[in-house]
Structure 1
Amino acid sequence: MTSETRQASVTDAEELSDEALLAAHVAGDPAAFGQLVRRHQDRLWAVALRTIRHGEDAADALQDAYISAYRRAGSFRGDSKVTTWLHRIVVNACLDRIRHNKVRKADALPDDHDRMADLASRATSQPDLVAQGAVRADIASALNELNPDQRAALILVDMEGYSVEEAATMLGCATGTIKSRCFRGRAKLVPLLEHLREPS
């Protein structure tokens, strides 16, 4: 394959819909699945990271999800968007990993004392970033208090902006179940995040 032909095939793949890329993958196109993943990897990574909150576990879950989607592409029936199907696989891979990793090891502090001093000096010189980081840490900690099903529902609906119907499709349950999980999850988060509310 010449460089012009290779460039033309890449351009063609970029113009294909998600459904066409998945169909091309099932038909044996070796580049189609990679193009599909590249197109959506940022959002899929964000969902994995928000669901698990631990970088290595999120990366492992995302890798498991990609392998699962690669192997199960032929079973995609077209009842939903390809992105909905991919998100469902990612969320399910994350929930499986959470269930199997009930006990979490604490991250060790870096051994590099110079690096620690550098991080500390940056933190003190950028108070807004520190405050934002503290708020994010508080929210992440509060989310970890929820059961995995409630956390997944809240992340998809409240953080990723999916509709209740889309989240129900991704998680393979009824819309009423998603509404219930969101309601109960929010109720649990209120006392945990009360300190973040601005005084009236």
Structure 2
Amino acid sequence: MTTIESVPEAGPDDATLVSRARDGDVRAYEVLVVRYQGRMFRLASKMLADRGEGEDVVQEVFLKAWRRLYQLTDDSAFVGWMYRMTTNRCLNVIRTRRPHAELDPESTESVRTDTQPEHAVQVSTQLAALNAALQELTPEQRACWLLREVDGLTYDEIASIIGISGAAVRGRIARARAQLSEVMQPWR
């Protein structure tokens, strides 16, 4: 299984923290939560286009991970495991929703207001268009595209997280890029 390298952090590495947490060290697990909750929230809120649902998913996933640490066979694979659980939970939430749920206006990235007002409006409008276009992708395409373009993961890492082949990941990302490119054409 491919593991996802984490950005070097101050303090113990993931494998050490996971091992300690598995032995009941709550503080070690808290360090892991602080280290990765931002990434998981960004992924969940973008996949779901809803900050509140994203927060709920991340909370559920970290609680589930705490309870199931014994299932993680490679302590250094913690971040990949978290991406996989977060992505799968988001896909399940999307499947149980009503079609074309309303977008959360707070799900767009904040735009600096100290720039020229016209530019700020244009950027805000582009982000809203991109978020709307992302919601038109299939959930699987959206997951692959976000993991690649937002989180910068490799095709092999995404394949491991989603549980599909690298070729399938490439196909989903290519279709997502083509669809997004078409929708975003007016913004070029």
Tell me, yes or no, whether TM beats 0.5. yes
Question: How far apart are 1:64 and its partner, in Å?
Answer: 1.6
- Return closer, same or farther for 1:107/1:167 CA change in 2, 3 Å cut-off: closer
Identity %: 27
Identify the structure with bigger relative contact order (alpha carbons < 8 Å, sequence gap 6+): 2
The answer on 1:32 being equivalent to 2:28 is: yes
The TM-score with structure 2 as length reference comes to 0.82
Cα distance in 1 between the residues matched to 2:104 and 2:54? 18
Cα distance in 2 between the residues matched to 1:33 and 1:107? 33
Q: Deviations over 1:139-161 (max 9, x none)?
A: 00001001100000000112221
- Alignment correspondent of 2:135: 144
| SS of alignment partner, residue 73 of structure 2 | coil
- Alignment correspondent of 1:15: 11
The TM-score with structure 1 as length reference comes to 0.78
Letter matched to residue 136 of structure 2 = E
Q: Which has the larger helix fraction? A: 1
The answer on 1:67 being equivalent to 2:63 is: yes
Bigger radius of gyration among the two: 1
Q: Kindly tell me the number of residue pairs found equivalent between the two proteins.
A: 172
Cα distance in 2 between the residues matched to 1:158 and 1:55? 19
Question: How far apart are 1:21 and its partner, in Å?
Answer: 0.8
Question: Alignment partner for residue 177 of structure 2, among 186, 191, 194?
Answer: 186
Contact 2:14 2:75 (8 Å CA) reproduced: no
Question: How far apart are 1:103 and its partner, in Å?
Answer: 4.0
Cα distance in 2 between the residues matched to 1:51 and 1:108? 12
| SS of alignment partner, residue 68 of structure 2 | helix
Question: Alignment partner for residue 93 of structure 1, among 85, 89, 94?
Answer: 89
Cα distance in 1 between the residues matched to 2:32 and 2:180? 35
* Runs of 4+ displaced beyond 6 Å: none
| SS of alignment partner, residue 65 of structure 1 | helix
Question: How far apart are 1:33 and its partner, in Å?
Answer: 1.2
**Superposed, which structure 2 residues align to 1:157-196 within 5 Å?**
157-196=148-187
